[in-house]
Amino acid sequence: MLAMAGGGQGGGSPWGTLIMFAAIFAIFYFLLIRPQRKQQQEHEEMVEALDKGDEVITVGGIRGEIIHVEGDVLTVKTAGDTRIEVQREKIGSRLGAEEEEEDEE
């Protein structure tokens, strides 16, 4: 009697499970991982292209103009005569970049 009670469950194909996991991974890759990598690469290219005279916004929200570049340290002039040193990676965006992209299209 006990042997009959467990016989009602069917063992599915392991290939079906494997295909399901592959499909879920593909969805995650194309919807999450790939766009994030592309955005990260664009940010790295923008940061490497920064030069003296560019207007930028830091990750912390400080807006200013780059007045000196020394390796990975940028000197940014903010309001008045205030100058701050910022690491290159901490620049969030460059002002005017949107206008240049529109001109290219």
**Which are the contacts of 69, defined by CB distance < 8 A and separation ≥ 6?**
50, 51, 52, 75
- For domain 51-105, the question of CATH label 2.30.30.30 is answered with yes
Domain ranges of the chain: 15-48, 51-105
**pLDDT value for 55:** 95
**pLDDT value for 92:** 93
Task: Provide the residue type at 1 as one letter.
Answer: M
CA dist., res. 73 & res. 55, Å (int): 15
Tens-level pLDDT at each residue, the chain (105 residues): 445 554 445 556 889 899 999 999 999 999 999 999 999 999 999 999 999 999 999 999 999 999 999 999 999 999 888 999 999 999 999 998 655 555 555
**pLDDT value for 47:** 93
CA dist., res. 46 & res. 81, Å (int): 26
Angle, CA of 23, 28 and 31, to the nearest 5°: 120
**pLDDT value for 1:** 47
**Which are the contacts of 104, defined by CB distance < 8 A and separation ≥ 6?**
none
